[in-house]
Amino acid sequence: MEDLFETFELQEDEKPYNIRHRSYYFSKDVVLFVRDCKYDKVYYSLFDQLIRSATSICANLVEGKAGSSKKDWKNFFLIALKSANETKYWLCLIRDTLEIDKVKIKELIKEADEISNIIATIVVNAERK
């Protein structure tokens, strides 16, 4: 069994091919982004929700991989897709309400969007089989 959490070297701007690896690295990037942000208490819930939704993506993909049926697999992947879309929402809200590193948040929004598109494509292609 592959180790999802095994570290492997990535070249700069290289993204993992496996969607579970890619979403894991995305979760990690979001956690580190939030760690480095300075914000008032009023914004705490935004960042809390961001971490919850971002880390939920990979967690649900991993659960789906271990699913006992195709229906189980699909349900977890759809939850992961919803979490990816929710993550985009929180990132955009943070971008538009705080003075924050606009370059980094733009990168995170782009990655969340790409992950969302990949998961949606996987689900659609699986339904064709």
Q: In this predicted model, what pLDDT tens digit does every residue of 58-94 receive, in sequence order?
A: 999 999 988 789 999 999 999 999 999 999 999 999 9
Protein fold of 19-128: de novo design (two linked rop proteins) (1.20.1440)
pLDDT of amino acid 127: 84
b/e for 83-115, b at 16 or more Cβ within 10 A? bbbbbbebbeebbeebebeeeebeebbebbeeb
The whole-model pTM stands at 0.86
Average pLDDT, the chain: 90
pLDDT of amino acid 4: 55
pLDDT of amino acid 83: 98
Which positions of the chain have pLDDT values less than 50?
1
| Burial class of residue 24 in the structure, from the number of CB atoms within 10 Å of its CB (0-12 exposed, 13-18 middle, 19+ buried) | buried
| 55 touches 30 (CB < 8 A) | yes
